[in-house]
Amino acid sequence: MNLIRRSDLAIALLVSSMALPAVADTFTIRMISEDPNIEGDSTMVFDPPLLRVALGDTVIFEPVQSGHNTASKNGMIPEGVESWNSRIDETFEITFSVDGTYGYVCMPHYLVGMVGMILVGDYSVNLDDARAVRHRGHAKKAFKALFALVDAL
């Protein structure tokens, strides 16, 4: 008969109760000119336009149709975080290590409202600062709609 010593049992219980490191997830945001789910002319959208992720998660911006990029919007990323501006038609990847609200745009299509937002961890850290940024053209309406979705969370 195999007997388990108390010390072995205590070690086994301690190890089994230790938190395992969280596994980071990867998400994809598609950059598209026409969304088949929206009627009308070219829609120029990020799909999805609003994404909530955890610290350590990675987001891949994938240009499904040509002519798009992703660029962080001045004033809409947490303080101390490096801004980004991908090349047109480039797949771009970013891993988030700082809590906050991250607003981004497609530079060629910003004025027609091709904008998006990523909420990382405790996104309230810079939410008010991001909300205070002024926008032009259809981007103003698009960000207003995104903030309404955030407020509904």
Q: Is 0.95 topped by the overall pTM?
A: no
- Which pLDDT score, from 0 to 100, does residue 5 have? 44
Helix (H) or strand (E) holding 127: helix 127-132
Q: What is the pLDDT of residue 98?
A: 97
Q: Work out the burial of residue 79: count CB atoms within 10 Å of its CB; fewer than 13 is exposed, 13-18 middle, 19 or more buried.
A: exposed
Residue 82 is given by DSSP the state P
10-residue mean pLDDT profile of the chain (153 residues): values are 42 42 85 72 84 97 94 96 96 97 96 96 96 95 96 92
Q: Where exactly are the structural domains of the chain?
A: 20-151
Q: Work out the widest C-alpha separation in the chain, in whole angstroms.
A: 78
DSSP E strands: which ranges in 36-140? 45-47, 50-53, 58-63, 71-72, 92-95, 100-105, 115-120
Q: Which of 131, 107, 130, 106 is nearest to 46 (CA)?
A: 106
**Homologous superfamily (CATH) for 20-151:** Cupredoxins -  blue copper proteins (2.60.40.420)
The pLDDT value recorded for residue 34 is 76
pLDDT of residue 35: 66
